[in-house]
Structure 1
Amino acid sequence: MILTPVPLPDLPTVLDAFDDALADAPTAQAAFRRIAATLALVRDGNLELSQDPDHHAQAVEFARGFGMAILDEPPTAGYTWDGHALRVRMEPSVIVHDVAHLQVCAPERRTAPDFGLGAGPETGLRTEADAAMSVFGVERELEESLASLLGILWEAELEQPAICAFLEQNWLEGGASAHNRRHFVKIVDHLAAHGFLTADGRPTRALREAPDAQFLATLAAA
Protein backbone atom coordinates (compact mmCIF):
# COMPACT_ATOMS: atom_id res chain seq x y z
CA MET A 1 0.00 0.00 0.00
CA ILE A 2 1.36 3.43 -0.96
CA LEU A 3 1.67 5.55 2.17
CA THR A 4 1.84 8.88 0.32
CA PRO A 5 0.62 8.67 -3.30
CA VAL A 6 2.56 10.70 -5.84
CA PRO A 7 0.29 12.29 -8.48
CA LEU A 8 1.36 11.27 -11.96
CA PRO A 9 2.04 14.88 -13.11
CA ASP A 10 4.46 15.31 -10.17
CA LEU A 11 6.26 12.02 -10.66
CA PRO A 12 8.91 13.09 -13.22
CA THR A 13 10.07 15.88 -10.91
CA VAL A 14 10.24 13.49 -7.94
CA LEU A 15 12.19 10.95 -9.99
CA ASP A 16 14.64 13.60 -11.23
CA ALA A 17 15.30 14.77 -7.66
CA PHE A 18 16.00 11.23 -6.48
CA ASP A 19 18.26 10.62 -9.47
CA ASP A 20 20.24 13.76 -8.59
CA ALA A 21 20.61 12.53 -5.00
CA LEU A 22 22.29 9.36 -6.30
CA ALA A 23 24.96 11.16 -8.34
CA ASP A 24 27.78 9.87 -6.11
CA ALA A 25 26.48 6.26 -6.05
CA PRO A 26 26.84 5.01 -9.63
CA THR A 27 25.46 1.49 -9.18
CA ALA A 28 22.47 2.76 -7.22
CA GLN A 29 21.87 5.48 -9.79
CA ALA A 30 22.08 3.00 -12.66
CA ALA A 31 19.61 0.68 -10.92
CA PHE A 32 17.25 3.55 -10.21
CA ARG A 33 17.39 4.76 -13.80
CA ARG A 34 16.34 1.31 -15.03
CA ILE A 35 13.29 1.52 -12.77
CA ALA A 36 12.48 5.15 -13.59
CA ALA A 37 12.65 4.46 -17.33
CA THR A 38 9.65 2.12 -17.01
CA LEU A 39 7.41 5.12 -16.44
CA ALA A 40 7.18 5.08 -20.24
CA LEU A 41 5.45 1.67 -19.99
CA VAL A 42 2.62 2.93 -17.77
CA ARG A 43 -0.65 2.73 -19.65
CA ASP A 44 -3.39 5.34 -19.50
CA GLY A 45 -1.76 7.03 -16.52
CA ASN A 46 -2.54 4.01 -14.32
CA LEU A 47 0.10 3.56 -11.62
CA GLU A 48 -1.58 0.49 -10.09
CA LEU A 49 0.23 -2.84 -10.33
CA SER A 50 -0.16 -4.38 -13.77
CA GLN A 51 -2.99 -6.84 -14.35
CA ASP A 52 -1.95 -7.46 -17.96
CA PRO A 53 -2.40 -11.15 -18.92
CA ASP A 54 0.78 -11.05 -21.01
CA HIS A 55 2.75 -9.73 -18.03
CA HIS A 56 1.23 -12.48 -15.89
CA ALA A 57 2.19 -15.22 -18.37
CA GLN A 58 5.70 -13.80 -18.59
CA ALA A 59 6.02 -13.72 -14.78
CA VAL A 60 4.85 -17.33 -14.51
CA GLU A 61 7.46 -18.46 -17.05
CA PHE A 62 10.05 -16.41 -15.19
CA ALA A 63 9.24 -18.31 -11.98
CA ARG A 64 9.41 -21.64 -13.82
CA GLY A 65 12.85 -20.63 -15.06
CA PHE A 66 14.04 -20.64 -11.46
CA GLY A 67 12.68 -24.15 -10.92
CA MET A 68 9.54 -23.10 -9.08
CA ALA A 69 6.55 -25.37 -9.66
CA ILE A 70 3.31 -23.53 -10.41
CA LEU A 71 -0.14 -23.88 -8.88
CA ASP A 72 -2.95 -22.08 -10.72
CA GLU A 73 -4.62 -21.10 -7.46
CA PRO A 74 -4.82 -17.99 -5.30
CA PRO A 75 -2.50 -17.81 -2.28
CA THR A 76 -5.58 -17.86 -0.06
CA ALA A 77 -5.89 -21.57 -0.96
CA GLY A 78 -2.81 -22.36 1.15
CA TYR A 79 0.67 -20.87 1.26
CA THR A 80 1.88 -18.38 -1.33
CA TRP A 81 5.06 -20.52 -1.62
CA ASP A 82 4.73 -23.96 -0.08
CA GLY A 83 8.41 -24.83 -0.39
CA HIS A 84 7.95 -26.41 -3.81
CA ALA A 85 5.22 -24.58 -5.72
CA LEU A 86 4.10 -20.97 -6.09
CA ARG A 87 0.40 -20.08 -6.23
CA VAL A 88 0.15 -17.61 -9.08
CA ARG A 89 -3.35 -16.13 -9.15
CA MET A 90 -1.96 -12.74 -8.16
CA GLU A 91 -0.42 -9.71 -9.85
CA PRO A 92 2.61 -10.32 -12.09
CA SER A 93 4.64 -8.01 -9.87
CA VAL A 94 3.99 -10.22 -6.83
CA ILE A 95 5.03 -13.36 -8.72
CA VAL A 96 8.32 -11.70 -9.69
CA HIS A 97 8.74 -10.51 -6.10
CA ASP A 98 8.48 -14.09 -4.86
CA VAL A 99 11.14 -15.22 -7.32
CA ALA A 100 13.39 -12.56 -5.79
CA HIS A 101 12.59 -14.02 -2.36
CA LEU A 102 13.78 -17.40 -3.62
CA GLN A 103 17.05 -15.78 -4.68
CA VAL A 104 17.83 -13.89 -1.49
CA CYS A 105 16.65 -16.36 1.15
CA ALA A 106 18.98 -18.82 2.86
CA PRO A 107 19.36 -22.22 1.14
CA GLU A 108 17.83 -23.92 4.16
CA ARG A 109 14.69 -21.79 3.83
CA ARG A 110 14.01 -22.26 0.12
CA THR A 111 11.81 -25.24 0.97
CA ALA A 112 10.10 -23.53 3.94
CA PRO A 113 6.54 -22.19 3.62
CA ASP A 114 6.70 -18.54 2.54
CA PHE A 115 10.51 -18.76 2.79
CA GLY A 116 10.43 -18.87 6.59
CA LEU A 117 9.44 -15.20 6.75
CA GLY A 118 5.89 -15.69 8.01
CA ALA A 119 2.64 -15.36 6.14
CA GLY A 120 2.58 -13.28 2.98
CA PRO A 121 -0.18 -10.69 2.57
CA GLU A 122 -2.52 -13.14 0.79
CA THR A 123 -1.43 -16.44 2.36
CA GLY A 124 -4.43 -18.51 3.48
CA LEU A 125 -2.60 -20.72 6.00
CA ARG A 126 -1.47 -17.75 8.05
CA THR A 127 -1.10 -19.50 11.39
CA GLU A 128 0.95 -22.30 9.85
CA ALA A 129 3.14 -19.90 7.86
CA ASP A 130 3.81 -17.78 10.93
CA ALA A 131 4.66 -20.90 12.92
CA ALA A 132 7.32 -21.73 10.30
CA MET A 133 8.90 -18.26 10.61
CA SER A 134 12.61 -18.42 11.44
CA VAL A 135 13.78 -14.87 10.63
CA PHE A 136 12.52 -12.01 12.74
CA GLY A 137 12.72 -8.29 13.40
CA VAL A 138 15.34 -6.16 11.66
CA GLU A 139 16.80 -9.15 9.81
CA ARG A 140 13.40 -10.04 8.37
CA GLU A 141 12.78 -6.45 7.29
CA LEU A 142 16.18 -6.30 5.63
CA GLU A 143 15.49 -9.47 3.65
CA GLU A 144 12.11 -8.09 2.62
CA SER A 145 13.84 -4.96 1.33
CA LEU A 146 16.38 -7.00 -0.62
CA ALA A 147 13.64 -9.07 -2.26
CA SER A 148 11.52 -6.00 -2.89
CA LEU A 149 14.17 -4.07 -4.78
CA LEU A 150 15.53 -7.12 -6.61
CA GLY A 151 12.02 -8.01 -7.77
CA ILE A 152 11.40 -4.46 -8.98
CA LEU A 153 14.65 -4.54 -10.94
CA TRP A 154 13.60 -7.85 -12.49
CA GLU A 155 10.34 -6.21 -13.57
CA ALA A 156 12.37 -3.51 -15.30
CA GLU A 157 14.53 -6.19 -16.92
CA LEU A 158 11.37 -7.94 -18.16
CA GLU A 159 10.13 -4.61 -19.58
CA GLN A 160 7.19 -4.48 -17.21
CA PRO A 161 6.16 -1.22 -15.45
CA ALA A 162 8.47 -1.60 -12.46
CA ILE A 163 7.83 1.99 -11.42
CA CYS A 164 4.38 0.93 -10.15
CA ALA A 165 5.83 -1.57 -7.67
CA PHE A 166 8.56 0.94 -6.76
CA LEU A 167 5.81 3.33 -5.67
CA GLU A 168 3.54 0.66 -4.19
CA GLN A 169 6.36 -0.64 -1.99
CA ASN A 170 7.14 2.91 -0.82
CA TRP A 171 10.67 3.28 -2.15
CA LEU A 172 9.90 6.95 -2.85
CA GLU A 173 8.37 7.64 0.57
CA GLY A 174 10.48 10.56 1.75
CA GLY A 175 11.54 11.48 -1.77
CA ALA A 176 15.16 12.50 -2.09
CA SER A 177 15.68 12.90 1.66
CA ALA A 178 19.02 11.80 3.09
CA HIS A 179 17.35 8.94 4.97
CA ASN A 180 15.56 7.58 1.91
CA ARG A 181 18.63 7.92 -0.28
CA ARG A 182 20.77 6.14 2.33
CA HIS A 183 18.32 3.22 2.57
CA PHE A 184 18.14 2.77 -1.21
CA VAL A 185 21.92 2.87 -1.60
CA LYS A 186 22.38 0.42 1.28
CA ILE A 187 20.04 -2.14 -0.28
CA VAL A 188 21.60 -1.75 -3.74
CA ASP A 189 25.07 -2.16 -2.23
CA HIS A 190 24.04 -5.33 -0.38
CA LEU A 191 22.52 -6.79 -3.55
CA ALA A 192 25.61 -5.96 -5.59
CA ALA A 193 28.04 -7.22 -2.94
CA HIS A 194 26.31 -10.61 -2.87
CA GLY A 195 26.15 -11.01 -6.63
CA PHE A 196 22.48 -10.23 -7.21
CA LEU A 197 23.18 -7.06 -9.23
CA THR A 198 25.82 -6.10 -11.78
CA ALA A 199 27.78 -2.88 -11.50
CA ASP A 200 25.34 -1.25 -13.93
CA GLY A 201 22.35 -2.18 -11.78
CA ARG A 202 21.02 -5.19 -13.68
CA PRO A 203 19.70 -8.22 -11.78
CA THR A 204 21.46 -11.57 -12.03
CA ARG A 205 20.16 -15.11 -11.60
CA ALA A 206 22.34 -15.71 -8.54
CA LEU A 207 20.98 -17.73 -5.64
CA ARG A 208 22.20 -17.01 -2.16
CA GLU A 209 24.57 -19.67 -0.87
CA ALA A 210 25.31 -18.41 2.64
CA PRO A 211 23.23 -19.70 5.58
CA ASP A 212 21.43 -17.19 7.76
CA ALA A 213 24.07 -16.83 10.49
CA GLN A 214 26.87 -16.16 8.01
CA PHE A 215 24.81 -13.90 5.75
CA LEU A 216 23.41 -11.76 8.56
CA ALA A 217 26.87 -11.36 10.09
CA THR A 218 28.13 -10.12 6.72
CA LEU A 219 25.30 -7.59 6.48
CA ALA A 220 25.86 -6.37 10.03
CA ALA A 221 29.54 -5.77 9.31
CA ALA A 222 28.83 -3.80 6.13
Structure 2
Amino acid sequence: MILTPIPADVLPDAIACFARHLDAAGDTVALAAFRRIAATWPVDNGVDTPAQRAEGEELAHAHGIGTLREEPSSSFMWDGAVIRTVVEATVIVHEVAHWLCAAPERRHLLDFGLGPGPETTQRKEARAHKRLSFEDCMKEEAQTSLLGVLWEAELGHPAILAFLEQNWMEAWERPGTAAYFTGHVNELHERGLIDAEGRPTTARAWADARRQGVAA
Protein backbone atom coordinates (compact mmCIF):
# COMPACT_ATOMS: atom_id res chain seq x y z
CA MET A 1 0.00 0.00 0.00
CA ILE A 2 1.37 3.40 -0.98
CA LEU A 3 1.88 5.58 2.07
CA THR A 4 1.92 8.87 0.15
CA PRO A 5 0.66 8.67 -3.45
CA ILE A 6 2.66 10.68 -5.98
CA PRO A 7 0.36 12.36 -8.55
CA ALA A 8 1.11 11.47 -12.16
CA ASP A 9 1.93 15.08 -13.01
CA VAL A 10 4.48 15.21 -10.17
CA LEU A 11 6.09 11.84 -10.87
CA PRO A 12 8.49 13.04 -13.63
CA ASP A 13 9.92 15.64 -11.23
CA ALA A 14 10.14 13.04 -8.47
CA ILE A 15 11.98 10.63 -10.75
CA ALA A 16 14.41 13.34 -11.84
CA CYS A 17 15.06 14.39 -8.24
CA PHE A 18 15.65 10.82 -7.11
CA ALA A 19 18.09 10.30 -9.99
CA ARG A 20 19.97 13.49 -9.07
CA HIS A 21 20.45 12.24 -5.52
CA LEU A 22 21.85 8.96 -6.84
CA ASP A 23 24.08 10.74 -9.34
CA ALA A 24 25.40 13.10 -6.65
CA ALA A 25 26.32 10.10 -4.50
CA GLY A 26 28.32 8.64 -7.39
CA ASP A 27 26.91 5.13 -7.11
CA THR A 28 26.78 3.91 -10.70
CA VAL A 29 25.08 0.58 -9.95
CA ALA A 30 22.23 2.21 -8.05
CA LEU A 31 21.77 4.84 -10.73
CA ALA A 32 21.71 2.20 -13.47
CA ALA A 33 19.18 0.14 -11.54
CA PHE A 34 16.94 3.14 -10.98
CA ARG A 35 17.11 4.16 -14.63
CA ARG A 36 15.85 0.68 -15.59
CA ILE A 37 12.88 1.13 -13.29
CA ALA A 38 12.19 4.74 -14.29
CA ALA A 39 12.21 3.79 -17.97
CA THR A 40 8.93 1.92 -17.45
CA TRP A 41 7.12 5.25 -16.94
CA PRO A 42 4.80 6.14 -18.54
CA VAL A 43 3.06 2.77 -18.50
CA ASP A 44 2.32 1.75 -22.08
CA ASN A 45 1.88 -2.04 -21.95
CA GLY A 46 -1.02 -2.38 -19.55
CA VAL A 47 -1.15 -3.51 -15.94
CA ASP A 48 -1.66 -7.11 -14.82
CA THR A 49 -2.51 -8.37 -18.29
CA PRO A 50 -2.91 -12.10 -19.11
CA ALA A 51 0.37 -11.88 -21.05
CA GLN A 52 2.17 -10.45 -18.03
CA ARG A 53 0.83 -13.21 -15.79
CA ALA A 54 1.95 -15.80 -18.31
CA GLU A 55 5.42 -14.23 -18.43
CA GLY A 56 5.59 -14.37 -14.63
CA GLU A 57 4.84 -18.10 -14.73
CA GLU A 58 7.36 -18.57 -17.53
CA LEU A 59 9.97 -16.76 -15.45
CA ALA A 60 9.31 -19.10 -12.53
CA HIS A 61 9.62 -22.20 -14.71
CA ALA A 62 12.86 -20.94 -16.24
CA HIS A 63 14.36 -20.90 -12.73
CA GLY A 64 13.05 -24.37 -11.92
CA ILE A 65 10.23 -23.07 -9.73
CA GLY A 66 6.91 -24.90 -9.81
CA THR A 67 3.59 -23.09 -10.21
CA LEU A 68 -0.04 -23.97 -9.60
CA ARG A 69 -3.00 -22.07 -11.04
CA GLU A 70 -4.86 -21.79 -7.80
CA GLU A 71 -5.67 -18.90 -5.49
CA PRO A 72 -3.31 -18.60 -2.50
CA SER A 73 -6.35 -18.07 -0.33
CA SER A 74 -6.73 -21.85 -0.40
CA SER A 75 -3.51 -22.26 1.60
CA PHE A 76 -0.10 -20.62 0.95
CA MET A 77 1.45 -18.33 -1.61
CA TRP A 78 4.51 -20.62 -1.59
CA ASP A 79 4.17 -24.08 -0.07
CA GLY A 80 7.77 -25.17 -0.53
CA ALA A 81 7.11 -26.57 -3.99
CA VAL A 82 4.88 -24.24 -6.02
CA ILE A 83 3.85 -20.61 -6.34
CA ARG A 84 0.09 -20.17 -6.57
CA THR A 85 -0.46 -17.96 -9.56
CA VAL A 86 -4.10 -16.84 -9.53
CA VAL A 87 -2.80 -13.46 -8.36
CA GLU A 88 -1.58 -10.26 -9.99
CA ALA A 89 1.39 -10.55 -12.32
CA THR A 90 3.51 -8.38 -10.02
CA VAL A 91 2.92 -10.86 -7.16
CA ILE A 92 4.10 -13.80 -9.29
CA VAL A 93 7.32 -11.98 -10.15
CA HIS A 94 7.76 -10.98 -6.51
CA GLU A 95 7.54 -14.63 -5.45
CA VAL A 96 10.21 -15.59 -7.99
CA ALA A 97 12.39 -12.90 -6.41
CA HIS A 98 11.65 -14.41 -3.00
CA TRP A 99 12.96 -17.76 -4.22
CA LEU A 100 16.10 -16.13 -5.62
CA CYS A 101 16.76 -14.17 -2.42
CA ALA A 102 16.07 -17.01 0.02
CA ALA A 103 18.89 -19.18 1.33
CA PRO A 104 18.69 -22.58 -0.41
CA GLU A 105 17.92 -24.34 2.87
CA ARG A 106 14.78 -22.19 3.25
CA ARG A 107 13.37 -22.70 -0.22
CA HIS A 108 11.46 -25.82 0.84
CA LEU A 109 9.79 -24.02 3.78
CA LEU A 110 6.32 -22.48 3.78
CA ASP A 111 6.60 -18.86 2.58
CA PHE A 112 10.39 -19.27 2.53
CA GLY A 113 10.61 -19.39 6.32
CA LEU A 114 9.71 -15.71 6.60
CA GLY A 115 6.33 -16.19 8.22
CA PRO A 116 2.97 -15.83 6.45
CA GLY A 117 2.78 -13.50 3.52
CA PRO A 118 -0.28 -11.29 2.93
CA GLU A 119 -1.91 -13.81 0.55
CA THR A 120 -1.41 -16.84 2.81
CA THR A 121 -4.45 -17.94 4.80
CA GLN A 122 -2.96 -20.88 6.74
CA ARG A 123 -1.03 -18.44 8.86
CA LYS A 124 -0.42 -20.64 11.89
CA GLU A 125 1.34 -23.26 9.76
CA ALA A 126 3.44 -20.61 7.99
CA ARG A 127 4.47 -19.08 11.32
CA ALA A 128 5.68 -22.51 12.47
CA HIS A 129 8.14 -22.51 9.56
CA LYS A 130 9.54 -19.06 10.32
CA ARG A 131 13.33 -19.15 10.69
CA LEU A 132 14.48 -15.51 10.65
CA SER A 133 14.25 -12.69 13.16
CA PHE A 134 11.90 -9.79 12.47
CA GLU A 135 14.82 -7.59 11.44
CA ASP A 136 16.24 -10.19 9.04
CA CYS A 137 12.78 -10.80 7.59
CA MET A 138 12.36 -7.09 6.90
CA LYS A 139 15.77 -6.91 5.24
CA GLU A 140 15.03 -9.89 2.99
CA GLU A 141 11.59 -8.52 2.16
CA ALA A 142 13.16 -5.24 1.05
CA GLN A 143 15.72 -6.99 -1.13
CA THR A 144 13.04 -9.25 -2.57
CA SER A 145 10.87 -6.24 -3.31
CA LEU A 146 13.67 -4.50 -5.18
CA LEU A 147 14.78 -7.59 -7.09
CA GLY A 148 11.18 -8.22 -8.11
CA VAL A 149 10.85 -4.65 -9.36
CA LEU A 150 14.05 -5.02 -11.40
CA TRP A 151 12.71 -8.25 -12.88
CA GLU A 152 9.50 -6.44 -13.81
CA ALA A 153 11.61 -3.83 -15.60
CA GLU A 154 13.47 -6.61 -17.41
CA LEU A 155 10.18 -8.15 -18.55
CA GLY A 156 8.81 -4.82 -19.72
CA HIS A 157 6.15 -4.84 -17.01
CA PRO A 158 5.16 -1.59 -15.21
CA ALA A 159 8.00 -1.78 -12.68
CA ILE A 160 7.60 1.85 -11.67
CA LEU A 161 4.15 1.07 -10.27
CA ALA A 162 5.50 -1.71 -8.05
CA PHE A 163 8.35 0.61 -7.01
CA LEU A 164 5.82 3.19 -5.90
CA GLU A 165 3.42 0.69 -4.36
CA GLN A 166 6.23 -0.69 -2.21
CA ASN A 167 7.17 2.81 -1.05
CA TRP A 168 10.69 3.06 -2.44
CA MET A 169 9.99 6.71 -3.32
CA GLU A 170 8.33 7.72 -0.06
CA ALA A 171 9.88 11.11 0.83
CA TRP A 172 11.57 11.19 -2.57
CA GLU A 173 12.84 14.73 -1.98
CA ARG A 174 15.26 13.54 0.70
CA PRO A 175 18.75 12.21 -0.11
CA GLY A 176 18.24 9.59 2.61
CA THR A 177 15.53 7.90 0.55
CA ALA A 178 17.94 7.45 -2.35
CA ALA A 179 20.63 6.28 0.09
CA TYR A 180 18.28 3.58 1.44
CA PHE A 181 17.65 2.39 -2.10
CA THR A 182 21.39 2.43 -2.83
CA GLY A 183 22.17 0.27 0.20
CA HIS A 184 19.82 -2.47 -0.95
CA VAL A 185 21.01 -2.25 -4.55
CA ASN A 186 24.58 -2.73 -3.38
CA GLU A 187 23.64 -5.76 -1.28
CA LEU A 188 21.88 -7.36 -4.23
CA HIS A 189 24.99 -6.67 -6.32
CA GLU A 190 27.32 -8.09 -3.67
CA ARG A 191 25.16 -11.20 -3.42
CA GLY A 192 25.42 -11.72 -7.17
CA LEU A 193 21.69 -11.20 -7.75
CA ILE A 194 22.12 -8.18 -10.04
CA ASP A 195 25.02 -7.08 -12.22
CA ALA A 196 26.85 -3.76 -12.45
CA GLU A 197 24.15 -2.48 -14.81
CA GLY A 198 21.43 -3.13 -12.23
CA ARG A 199 20.11 -6.05 -14.25
CA PRO A 200 19.15 -9.41 -12.66
CA THR A 201 22.09 -11.73 -13.22
CA THR A 202 20.03 -14.52 -14.79
CA ALA A 203 18.33 -12.11 -17.20
CA ARG A 204 20.65 -12.65 -20.15
CA ALA A 205 20.25 -16.42 -19.98
CA TRP A 206 16.49 -15.91 -19.70
CA ALA A 207 16.43 -13.60 -22.73
CA ASP A 208 18.57 -15.99 -24.79
CA ALA A 209 16.33 -18.94 -23.91
CA ARG A 210 13.25 -16.96 -24.92
CA ARG A 211 14.79 -15.96 -28.25
CA GLN A 212 15.72 -19.56 -28.96
CA GLY A 213 12.20 -20.65 -28.08
CA VAL A 214 10.71 -18.12 -30.49
CA ALA A 215 13.17 -19.13 -33.23
CA ALA A 216 12.29 -22.81 -32.74
How does the TM-score come out when normalised to structure 2? 0.90
Change (3 A) 1:195 1:176: farther
Provide the C-alpha distance between the structure 2 equivalents of 1:74 and 1:10, rounded to a whole number of angstroms: 36
1:198 aligned to which of 192, 195, 199: 195
Aligned to 1:166: 163
How many angstroms does 1:41 deviate by?
Answer: 2.8
In the alignment, what sits opposite 1:154? Answer: 151
Q: What is the DSSP-based 3-state SS (H/G/I as helix, E as strand, rest coil) of the residue aligned with 1:70?
A: strand
> 1:69 aligns to what?
66
- Matched residue, 2:29: 27
Instruction: Write the distance in 1 (CA, Å) between the matches of 2:44 and 2:166.
Output: 17
Is the partner of 1:122 in helix, strand or coil?
coil
State how far apart, in whole Å, the 1-side matches of 2:120 and 2:201 are: 27
Q: CA separation in 2, counterparts of 1:146 and 1:205?
A: 16
**Structure 1: which 5+ runs fail to align?**
45-49, 207-222
State the 4+ residue runs in structure 1 displaced beyond 2 angstroms: 40-44
Segments of 5+ residues of structure 2 without an aligned counterpart are 204-216
Cα distance in 2 between the residues matched to 1:60 and 1:43: 18
CA deviations on 1:172-199 (whole Å, 9 max, x unpaired) are: 0010313211210000000001111111
Q: 2:76 aligns with which of 74, 79, 88?
A: 79
Secondary structure of 2:100's aligned partner: helix
> Residue type matched to 1:94 in 2?
V
- Is 2:104 the counterpart of 1:107? yes
Alignment of 1:106-145 (within 5 A): 106-145=103-142
Letter aligned with residue 39 of structure 1: W
Work out the CA distance in 2 between the residues paired with 1:192 and 1:105. Answer: 15
Please state whether the residue corresponding to 2:2 is helix, strand or coil.
coil
Aligned partners of 1:138, 1:177: CA distance in 2, in Å?
24
TM-score by length of 1: 0.88
Match of 1:51 among 35, 48, 61: 48
Cα-to-partner distance string for 1:58-99 (whole Å, 9 max, x where unaligned): 111111111111111111111100001110011111110110
Counterpart CA distance in 2 for 1:164 and 1:53 is: 17
Report what 1:16 is aligned to: 16
Count of aligned pairs between the two proteins: 201
Give distance in 1, aligned partners of 2:29 and 2:65: 29
Percent pairwise identity: 45
Counterpart contact for 2:70–2:84, Cα < 8 Å: yes
Distance 2:42 2:8 in 1: 12
Q: What CA distance in whole angstroms lies between the structure 2 residues aligned with 1:17 and 1:74?
A: 39
The reply to whether residue 5 of structure 1 matches residue 2 of structure 2 is no
> What secondary structure is seen at the aligned counterpart in 2 of 1:38?
coil
2:202 corresponds to which letter in structure 1? R
Deviation string for 1:111-149 (max 9, x for gaps)?
Answer: 000000011111121111112111122111110011000
